[in-house]
Amino acid sequence: MSKGFRLLRVEYLFSVLVPCLLSIYLNNYDVFAHIWILAGFGFYAITGNTLNDVIDMEDPNEKETLERVQGYRRKEIFTISLASFLLGTVCFMNSIVVNPLLGVYLAIIVISVIFYCLFKSLVIINHIILGISHIFLPYFMIKINAGDISMN
């Protein structure tokens, strides 16, 4: 596997997409109706991974991260993170325009992940936050997008 591909940690996509795919499967939704949300979460997964790497590059104890990002500068990895965030946001935009509640859920997810990246020392709180932002909110975003949950 190429070094650039390892930098993105694409294997993490599976753990981010499973709650969405579970929601689609358990509720018998058409996967193609939610493809843009799945793509958005895929890009957001890359954003979270690269943002986490940008922050961890400062810590000399993060040997795995330092090995993975060797040869890259923080600015380059942050640029990948920013570009991935913008692509993910574009993927979500149509769904958010139709259902503004999705935007609220997405904002909570983004804030939660940033909180996790900045305050990793709060282990128990961060695991709860990650559970909510990576499992429950994406699951319900698919249900909202399908029309099963509405603001009315």
- Each residue's pLDDT tens digit, 70-98: 888 889 999 999 999 999 999 999 999 99
Distance CA 42, CA 87 (A): 10
> Residue 1 corresponds to which tokens in the numbers above?
């596997």
What pLDDT shows up at residue 15? 82
Phi-psi region of 9 (alpha: psi -120 to 50; beta: other; left: phi over 0): left
The pTM (predicted TM-score) of the whole model is 0.88
